[in-house]
């Protein structure tokens, strides 16, 4: 077994005995990434708190509290599984509850970057193992025997010498009088009983039966009013005047207020294009929606009114006229290209994208003179509390933030302006309010995935070997390139230069930031280079990885070439690459992001004059130890479908600063019948700590799609959305 120190720092364990609560309190500060769920069990007559995360009932039922937000990535199930594994408790006896924001007890109460499991792994294991050890020591004292002779399994402690047994609930109170051990033993990976198994989402029944879990479900009490906002119709405009006399007289309307959520020192999470808004407050959603339409508002310019055509020229001009920032250069790249026998150069573009979570933005706020209660779907609750404190003039200690389950996040709910808006409205009307966005409010507010443009160049020698590689990237507002990722380290002459274009359109993280474009462009380009070199696409990539393994260039390469090559080999075998199937066309891609490695092979078939149909996808993933197999497969499949849909159909365009898509009649998403493809997910088995999984499957699938479409149609795809590009070609 692995022995691990429990006393990481003075906050790691804090033993607290309270007169009002019998039991043991241990503050595991490194459990910050935990995120559990709920079951219907016989509730104990008495609970014993073992820490901020674990509570054991006198009947052996265990409650695990989840500090991190749940956005559909299933950490509310997988993270308590880690505790339960080391605690050795029967999963059927576990209840999971969402914790509130509490920075005294938790370190990382956020959902972002696919990092919850990775950051929580050691601490969660330690929490379970430590609690288990203390319960066993309590049992040993009860029996007057050595703890080393006892065993624990599924919440039952056994004394093999005499055959006696005690449940965790029987000794939880006794454990409160014990000192926290300085070190504990963790299980060997091979001994895991729960981790790696298929476990159903702990909220599944509540979700499918429509029970209140999401922010949109939270209504407050009968005094709560409904609020909706109106923001400028275009980026680069602000409110000039307002006539609300007619609106105030409409049925059910309580108030019309102007709010401003600007902060002197905003955080990154305060990204927002429209801080000055009009809010309509009333009794019901329908009454407020009708009142919004009746408002007489006058707007005026407050900046440039941008157009999509201007964006396209601006990105092109930035790379041609700006000096740019050289992020990495290995060797004399200009000389290498001058001496190359063949040069392949291609440019790839992608548009702005909206997040379009199924649940539109919403938040509840109840602000009084000296305190505030905030409830809703937020990925960054700590950031929201800090910004709300600045905006409201109320100390953070007097502000509570309760997290609800989210109907999608994808990075959209990292930015808490909608929570601030609810707080500002509540303060203005001096009462509780539920802010609800319409789909149009959400889609036209901003915080989009940036538009991108990247140009790749590859130089080949006489033997068709890759000798030089250059990438130039720009975007609105910034470049999508990662200078130290593959193919960095695989070629002697390598250069990455970043450019940028200023904009007043607000942008932010969108599922797998930057990678969501770069992977597809890079992998499509590498296929084209492989073709120019006369090599099989997988063999070509493996040759590059072989160089990175045996004789890498540079020391800053941020990937493991062995693991990278491993997923490629795995998917090659998985898909029986090289098999000639009549009428079936294949594409391959591989990518590293969020500390995980993913490789995919996609099969497409022709569909008359329509874009070819996806028939099957094979996907190999190396994300270390898989905690919950069912949740992991769901994340991988969902990421690929998400990536395919957006690459094929989605875009946000602008005319004089006004978004041209404001609902799903204009913003195309993948449809159910288009998503019905066969998907085969394979996880590489190893004993490495878990890494990210919510995002890594999305980026490379765009490259696999582009490469498969080329095989089927004979033409390369350089502009997203692909379906629109294909349609233009078909129409001549």
Helix, strand, coil in percent for the chain, rounding step 5: 35, 25, 40
Give the Cα separation of 172 and 344 in Å (integer). 68
Contact 32, 123 (CB under 8 A): yes
Report strand pairing: 451-460 vs 342-350.
antiparallel
Look at residue 276 in the predicted model and tell me its pLDDT.
Answer: 97
Look at residue 253 in the predicted model and tell me its pLDDT.
Answer: 98
Q: Is 457 left (phi over 0), alpha (psi -120 to 50) or beta?
A: beta
**Helix 515-533 × helix 698-713 angle, to 10°:** 40
Tell which residue, 319, 366, 610, has the closest CA to residue 479: 319
* Structure token digits, residue 241: 């005047």
CA distances from 412 to 57, 325, 377, 507, 667 (A): 38, 29, 11, 10, 17
Instruction: State pTM to two decimals.
Output: 0.93
Judge if 2-195 and 322-353+448-730 fold alike in CATH terms.
yes
CB count in 10 Å sphere of residue 461:
15
Give the Cα separation of 411 and 565 in Å (integer). 29
289 in helix, strand or coil?
helix
346 in helix, strand or coil?
strand
Look at residue 4 in the predicted model and tell me its pLDDT.
Answer: 62
Name the β-bridge partners of 65. 97
What class does CATH assign to 322-353+448-730? alpha beta
Tell which residue, 177, 190, 165, 169, has the closest CA to residue 87: 169
479 in helix, strand or coil?
coil
Domain range summary for the chain, segments of one domain joined by +:
2-195, 215-303+361-436, 322-353+448-730
Interacting residues of 212 by C-beta distance below 8 A, sequence separation 6+: 218
Look at residue 732 in the predicted model and tell me its pLDDT.
Answer: 64
Sheet holding 362-367, edge to edge: 253-260, 276-282, 225-230, 433-436, 362-367, 372-376, 399-403
Tell which residue, 489, 450, 453, has the closest CA to residue 471: 453
326 in helix, strand or coil?
strand
* Structure token digits, residue 713: 């149609």
* Structure token digits, residue 532: 């120019």
DSSP 366-388: EE-SS-EEEEE--S-HHHHHHHH
DSSP 649-694: H--B-EETTEES--STTTS----GGGG--EEEEEEPP--SPP---S
Regions of the chain where pLDDT drops below 50: 7-40
Look at residue 105 in the predicted model and tell me its pLDDT.
Answer: 82
215-303+361-436: CATH topology is Aldehyde Oxidoreductase; domain 4 (3.30.365)
Tell which residue, 617, 622, 611, has the closest CA to residue 648: 611
Tell which residue, 417, 389, 159, has the closest CA to residue 272: 417
CB count in 10 Å sphere of residue 222:
6
User: Residue 460 — φ and ψ, nearest 5°?
Assistant: -115, 145
Instruction: For residue 543, count CB atoms less than 10 angstroms from its CB and return exposed for 0-12, middle for 13-18, buried for 19 or more.
Output: middle
What is the residue whose two structure tokens read 């022995």?
Answer: 3
User: Across 478-528, where does the E strand assignment appear?
Assistant: 493-498
Interacting residues of 493 by C-beta distance below 8 A, sequence separation 6+: 330, 331, 332, 333, 335, 336, 337, 459, 467, 468, 469
Interacting residues of 557 by C-beta distance below 8 A, sequence separation 6+: 484, 485, 486, 488, 489, 548
Rg, the chain, Cα only: 28
Best CATH choice for the domain 2-195 from the list 3.10.450.50, 3.30.365.10, 3.40.50.2000, 3.40.50.620: 3.30.365.10
Task: For 213-241, write each residue's pLDDT tens digit.
Answer: 999 999 999 999 999 999 999 999 999 99
């Amino acid at each position: 077994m692995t022995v691990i120190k429990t006393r990481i720092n003075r906050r790691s364990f804090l033993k607290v005995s309270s007169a009002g609560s019998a039991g043991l309190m241990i503050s595991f500060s490194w459990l910050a990434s935990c995120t559990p769920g709920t079951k219907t069990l016989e509730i104990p007559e008495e609970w014993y708190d073992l820490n901020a995360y674990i509570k054991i009932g006198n009947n052996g039922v265990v409650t695990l509290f989840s500090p991190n937000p749940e956005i559909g990535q299933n950490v509310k199930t997988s993270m308590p599984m880690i505790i339960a594994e080391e605690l050795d408790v029967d999963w059927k006896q576990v209840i999971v509850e969402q914790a509130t924001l509490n920075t005294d007890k938790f370190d990382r109460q956020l959902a972002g970057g696919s990092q919850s499991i990775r950051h929580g792994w050691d601490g969660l294991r330690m929490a379970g193992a430590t609690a288990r050890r203390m319960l066993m020591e309590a049992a040993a004292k009860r029996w007057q025997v050595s703890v080393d002779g006892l065993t624990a399994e599924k919440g039952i402690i056994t004394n093999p010498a005499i055959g006696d047994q005690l449940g965790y609930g029987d000794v939880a109170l006794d454990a409160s009088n014990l000192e926290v051990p300085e070190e504990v033993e963790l299980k060997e990976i091979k001994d895991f009983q729960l981790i790696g198994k298929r476990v159903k989402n702990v909220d599944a029944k509540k979700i499918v039966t429509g029970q209140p879990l999401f922010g949109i479900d939270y209504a407050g009490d009968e005094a709560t009013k409904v609020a909706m906002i109106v923001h400028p119709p275009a980026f680069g405009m602000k409110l000039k005047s307002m006539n609300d006399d007619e609106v105030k007289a409409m049925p059910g309307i309580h108030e019309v207020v102007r709010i401003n959520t600007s902060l002197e020192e905003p955080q990154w999470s305060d990204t927002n294009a429209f801080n000055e808004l009009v809010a309509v407050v009333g009794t019901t959603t329908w009454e407020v929606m009708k009142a919004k339409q009746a408002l007489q508002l006058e707007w005026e310019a407050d900046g440039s009114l941008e157009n999509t055509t201007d964006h396209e020229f601006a990105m092109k001009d930035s790379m041609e006229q700006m000096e740019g920032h050289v992020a990495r250069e290995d060797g004399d790249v200009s000389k290498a290209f001058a001496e190359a026998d063949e040069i392949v150069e291609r440019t790839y573009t992608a548009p702005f994208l909206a997040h379009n979570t199924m649940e539109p933005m919403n938040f509840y706020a109840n602000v009084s003179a000296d305190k505030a209660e905030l409830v809703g779907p937020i990925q960054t609750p700590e950031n929201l509390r800090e910004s709300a404190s600045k905006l409201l003039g109320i100390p953070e200690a007097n502000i509570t933030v309760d997290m609800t389950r989210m109907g999608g996040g994808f990075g959209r709910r990292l930015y808490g302006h909608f929570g601030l808006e609810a707080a500002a409205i509540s303060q203005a009307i001096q009462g509780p309010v539920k802010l609800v966005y319409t789909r149009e409010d959400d889609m036209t507010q901003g915080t989009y995935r940036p538009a991108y443009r990247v140009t790749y160049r590859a130089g080949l020698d006489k033997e068709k070997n890759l000798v030089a590689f250059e990438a130039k990237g720009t975007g609105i507002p910034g470049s999508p390139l990662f200078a130290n990722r593959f193919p960095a380290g695989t070629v002697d002459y390598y250069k990455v230069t970043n450019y940028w274009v200023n904009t007043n359109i607000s942008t932010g993280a969108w599922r797998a930031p930057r990678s969501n474009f770069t992977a597809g462009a890079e992998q499509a380009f590498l296929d084209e280079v492989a073709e120019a070199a006369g090599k099989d696409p997988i063999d070509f990539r493996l040759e590059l990885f072989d160089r990175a393994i045996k004789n890498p260039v540079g020391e800053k390469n941020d990937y493991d070439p062995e693991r990278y090559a491993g997923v490629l080999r795995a998917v090659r075998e998985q898909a029986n690459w090289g098999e000639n199937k009549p009428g079936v066309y294949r594409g391959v891609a591989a990518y590293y992001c969020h500390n995980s490695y993913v490789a995919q092979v996609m099969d497409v078939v022709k569909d008359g004059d329509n874009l070819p149909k996806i028939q099957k996808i094979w996907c190999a993933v190396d994300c270390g130890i898989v905690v919950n197999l069912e949740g992991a497969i769901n994340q991988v499949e969902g990421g690929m479908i998400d990536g395919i849909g957006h690459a094929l159909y989605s875009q946000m365009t602008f005319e004089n600063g006004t978004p041209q898509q404001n609902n799903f009649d204009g913003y195309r998403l993948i449809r159910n019948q288009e998503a019905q493809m066969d998907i085969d997910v394979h996880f590489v088995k190893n004993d490495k700590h878990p890494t990210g999984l919510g995002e890594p499957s999305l980026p490379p699938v765009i490259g696999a799609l582009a490469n498969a479409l080329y095989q089927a149609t004979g033409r390369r795809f350089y502009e997203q959305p692909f379906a629109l590009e294909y349609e233009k070609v078909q129409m001549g």
